[in-house]
């Protein structure tokens, strides 16, 4: 009887001292590994292309980010400046909700003014699905204007894959 009375508090104390495994400081390597396992790779491809023709110029930017963390890309031209801010969120179903904001500053060559337009979209996408952004708009009338170029920006999000260590 007495042994039980003495042992019970000791067991409770030991349990209290050992009942906080989450309070242990995380190993920095584990923390980095956890961050990388959640990381997303966002590829932004900018193209300049004439109507109905293949691109005459393209550029590729690949960035790593975490869900909820924005990435910003600025495209500078002679008479245009384009901002693109992408914030991906990973939903519970594994899909990605992409919040994308585009801003366009355009200086008309013949007019002495600067035009500004912006767009904001929340687009649910799957990993690898392509989202297109036309900062200068897209003509719905099917008009073809020779000699005028447009900008197309392609956004693609995939989970980040860590490079495999080289086998010796």
Among 41, 89, 95, 125, binds other proteins (CB under 8 A): 125
Among 39, 41, 43, 80, binds other proteins (CB under 8 A): 80
Going by the DSSP 8-state scheme, the letter that residue 93 receives in this structure is T
Burial grade of 132 (CB within 10 A; 0-12, 13-18, 19 or more): exposed
Residue with smaller CB distance to other proteins, 17 or 166: 17
> Minimal distance in Å, beta carbon 158 to other proteins?
15
Residue with smaller CB distance to other proteins, 23 or 166: 23
Q: β-pairing, 80-90 with 96-107? A: antiparallel
3 state SS of 148? coil
3 state SS of 76? strand
- Token pair, residue 131, equals 């989202």
Contacts of 117 (CB under 8 A, 6+ apart): 103, 104, 106
Residue with smaller CB distance to other proteins, 28 or 163: 28
Interface of this chain with other proteins, residues 7 to 66, rule: CB under 8 A? 8-9, 12-13, 16-17, 20, 22-23, 25-26, 30-31, 34-35, 37-38, 44, 46, 48, 51-52, 56-57, 59, 61, 63
CA atoms lying within 13 Å on the CB side of residue 14: 6
Among 40, 75, 96, 157, binds other proteins (CB under 8 A): 75
Among 93, 113, 129, 161, binds other proteins (CB under 8 A): 129
Question: Interface with other proteins includes 111 (CB under 8 A)?
Answer: no
> Minimal distance in Å, beta carbon 46 to other proteins?
5
Among 64, 69, 114, 128, binds other proteins (CB under 8 A): 69
Give residue 62's Cα distance to chain centre. Answer: 10
- Token pair, residue 96, equals 């990605």
Count of residues binding other proteins (CB under 8 A)? Answer: 77
């Amino acid at each position: 009887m007495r042994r039980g009375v003495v042992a019970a508090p000791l067991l409770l104390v030991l349990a209290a001292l050992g009942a906080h495994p989450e309070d242990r400081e995380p190993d920095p390597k584990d923390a980095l590994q956890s961050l990388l396992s959640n990381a997303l790779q966002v590829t932004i491809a900018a193209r300049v292309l004439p109507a109905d023709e293949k691109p005459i110029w393209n550029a590729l930017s690949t960035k790593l980010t975490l869900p909820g963390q924005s990435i910003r890309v600025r495209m500078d031209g002679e008479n245009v400046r384009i901002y693109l801010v992408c914030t991906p969120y990973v939903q519970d179903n594994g899909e990605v909700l992409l919040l994308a904001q585009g801003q366009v500053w355009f200086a008309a060559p013949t007019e002495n003014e600067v035009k500004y337009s912006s767009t904001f979209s929340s687009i649910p996408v799957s990993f690898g699905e392509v989202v297109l952004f036309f900062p200068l708009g897209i003509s719905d009338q099917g008009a073809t204007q020779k000699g005028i170029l447009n900008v197309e920006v392609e956004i693609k999000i995939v989970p980040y894959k860590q490079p495999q260590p080289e086998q010796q």
